[in-house]
Chain A
Amino acid sequence: MNRIKTLFQNKKEDILNIYFTAGHPNLNDTATIIRELAHAGTDLIEVGMPYSDPLADGLTIQQSSSVALKNGMHLDLLFTQLKDARQHTDIPLVLMGYFNQVLQYGPEKFIRQCVDSGVDGLILPDLPLFEYERDFKALFEANDICISFLITPLTEDYRIRKVDELTNGFIYMVSSNATTGGKADADQQQIAYFNRIEKMGLNNPRLIGFGISDHASFSNACQYANGAIIGSAFIRNLEKENDLRMGIHRFVSGIRQEVHQ
């Protein structure tokens, strides 16, 4: 069974999903970062496929993507690294990137590589819902690869229902209308949005992302969803730590703190 589906079947709360950009800080850090994140107690890992024009991303992820591309990251290498990482861990892995990357690689070949290297799901924020349904849904489902679509505070209810229908795995709930890496203030408006989604009784579990950076914002998000996603804050941490392994453990235990108590 798909590891994402297994995870959400067994665990309903405080799910920690951490994003990093493959090829950053160094080209061959991918397997180490995945292994250490898994050891440190992360539940799910989102591996960013670095892209030249990452529209939805703020400065931190843009810069890490530029570094990764300069380091020489490309998709064939990434799949090899993931296959290697998969030897050492059973943690669910999600690939995140932009639709053009999949389109150029060839969707069939891309999905085959996902299966071969133990990838469980995809997030492609600029893939239109109707196009997924028309052209790719059958392919994803036949290979048991999950897909997560995004919703935001401004997504209309009918689209949220459509997202819920097409998503399998988890819904990516964007905390506020902003690119990645900003601040998530738990204001009244945001809480109203979280509650509105809760009341919709969606089929898929939800993870909150964008602006989650520390223990406080993580545990707050966990009150309103099954867990949360941290990206930019983790990347900034990787950049300042000298020891990759120690840095990852320190970061994850800092996020977890009292949530486990």
Chain B
Amino acid sequence: MISIDEKGYYGKFGGAYIPELLHPCVEELRLNYEKIMTQPDFQEEFHHLLRDYVGRPTPLYFAKRYSEHFKANIYFKREDLCHTGAHKVNNTIGQILVAQRLNKKRIIAETGAGQHGVATATVCALMGIECIVYMGEKDIERQAPNVKRMKMLGAEVRPAMSGSRTLKDATNEAIRDWINNPSDTHYIIGSVVGPHPYPEMVARFQSVISEEMKKQLLEKTGKANPDAIIACVGGGSNAAGAFYHYLNDEDVRLIAVEAAGLGVHSGETAATSAIGTEGVIHGSRTLLMQTQDGQIVEPYSISAGLDYPGIGPLHAHLISSGRAEAISITDKEALDAAFFLSRTEGIIPALESAHAFAAMNHLDYNEGDTIVINLSGRGDKDLAAYTQALD
């Protein structure tokens, strides 16, 4: 049975390794999130917004040409069709409703590629709440279109200038902001990372993905359980959502796909479960890329959304206990998979999602297996990288 214990651990991973300064913020959330998110009025508003604003349920699409090629029955869960272009908005809708019920007047968030930043700026605009997004100075340069989207939505984008000036530093900056503004601010973390209760709360908001998947598969195939589910993992929020309602269905293989960058052992990678060791990052005990002295190592992936040196504690537990299988995919393999998908099915995926599709070439499966690939986001934001690869 896979579940979280009362102190916020999945097996030995998770917990809340936070300075006392952050304790009141996290404790307020821990004591209230479950109560809030199970209230009928919350559930009603959440599901109403997911339906009419986000566009859920997202389709479960049987990919005929793709299936023929791989000799399996392959379905895509179309999170790329969510409003704002990725699954990230499922979580930001949930958290903004929690923030309102905690009477918070100010929202902060971190972002790497900018997808979570855009999803946060979107829900803040929707609710008329002040929004500050921390983004590494380097990422601001690399992801200019999303910076413009956030600004158009009324958010303030603050550059994180410390450390490596990327996602992990943006997360540090957001945490420091929260320390300095404990009473009026809610921090919308974008993935299943951070101190308890974030990993579990975010997973539950994203679990709508597997909840729909079960119903849709049953309707389409007569069986609610596929043979395997494939999802990419940076921090791991789309994978957590796609796996959630199958965690205890041992007949379903869970495939977590990490970004190998230039190669798992190239020194330029984000394949955390392959080369990471147990430690503490952003308030959570999990697997992370670090030196022998415990200094956090800067990751690399072509996909900014997978460019994170840690992994959510749920995934650390699933992978190290053998419940989930990890596959690492290089930049090159992801690019190839993106082009192949575009040309067989007419869908341009996000670079993150392209890693999940590339895993089909590594997965050991039986002919005729039913496989669901979580298509977590659309590829518009990655056109520059795709165009460069074409040249």
Contact = CB atoms under 8 A, between A and B. Distances in A.
B162 interface: yes
Interface in B18-40: 18-24
9 contacts: A54-B172, A59-B162, A98-B280, A101-B293, A104-B293, A104-B294, A125-B20, A128-B17, A154-B23
Given A51-B295, A179-B180, A174 B162 contact: no
A150 B7 contact: no
Interface residues of B, number: 34
Contact of B182 (A103, A126, A128, A177): A177
A104 B292 contact: yes
B279 interface: yes
B290 interface: yes
B24 A154 contact: yes
A150 B295 CA distance: 23
B11 interface: no
Contact of A154 (B7, B15, B182): B182
B145 interface: no
A54 B179 CA distance: 13
Contacts of B22: 55
Interface in B277-301: 277, 279-283, 290-296
Contacts of A66: 162-163
B175 interface: yes
A104 B297 CA distance: 13
B87 interface: no
A152 interface: yes
Contacts of A159: 23
A231 B294 CA distance: 23
B16 interface: yes
Interface string A139-164: 00000000001111011000100000
A55 B168 CA distance: 11
A53 B163 contact: yes
B21 A177 contact: yes
Interface residues of A, number: 40
B151 interface: no
Interface of B: 7, 15-24, 162-163, 168-169, 172, 175-176, 179-180, 182, 277, 279-283, 290-296
What are the 7 A-B residue pairs with the smallest beta carbon separation, nearest first?
A104-B294, A56-B19, A125-B19, A154-B24, A150-B20, A100-B280, A100-B294
A157 to B, nearest CB: 13
B228 to A, nearest CB: 34
Contacts of A63: 162
Nearest to B298: A52
B293 A105 contact: yes
A130 interface: yes
Contacts of B7: 130
A105 B295 CA distance: 11
Interface string A94-124: 0000111111110000000000000000000
A40 interface: no
B271 to A, nearest CB: 19
A127 B17 contact: yes
Given A104-B277, A105-B293, 20 more contacts: A55-B18, A55-B172, A55-B175, A56-B179, A58-B176, A62-B162, A100-B281, A102-B294, A125-B21, A126-B17, A128-B16, A128-B18, A130-B7, A152-B20, A152-B21, A152-B24, A154-B24, A155-B24, A177-B24, A179-B21
B279 A100 contact: yes
Chain A CB within 10 A, most for which of B20, B172, B176:
B20
A102 to B, nearest CB: 8
Contacts of B172: 53-55
Contacts of A244: none
Interface in A43-65: 51-56, 58-59, 62-63
Contact of A75 (B180, B280, B281, B293): B293
Which residue among B169, B281, B293 has the maximum number of chain A CB atoms within 10 Å of its CB? B293
B180 A177 contact: yes
Contacts of A98: 280, 294
A56 B21 contact: yes
B361 to A, nearest CB: 35
A69 interface: yes
B374 to A, nearest CB: 29
Nearest to A62: B162
A178 interface: yes
A177 B19 CA distance: 11
Contact of A101 (B21, B182, B294): B294
A40 B85 CA distance: 61
Contacts of A74: 293
Q: Count chain A CB atoms within 10 A of each CB in B172, B180, B294 and give the residue with the most.
A: B294
Contact of A126 (B24, B162, B280): B280
A131 B14 CA distance: 13
Given A62-B162, A103-B294, A178 B15 contact: no
Given A53-B168, A75-B293, A178-B179, A150 B21 contact: yes
A52 B11 CA distance: 27
A248 B163 CA distance: 28
Nearest to A51: B295
A179 B16 CA distance: 18
Contacts of A127: 17
Contacts of B17: 99-100, 126-128
Contacts of A99: 17, 280
Contacts of A75: 293
Contacts of B180: 177-179, 182
B179 A177 contact: yes
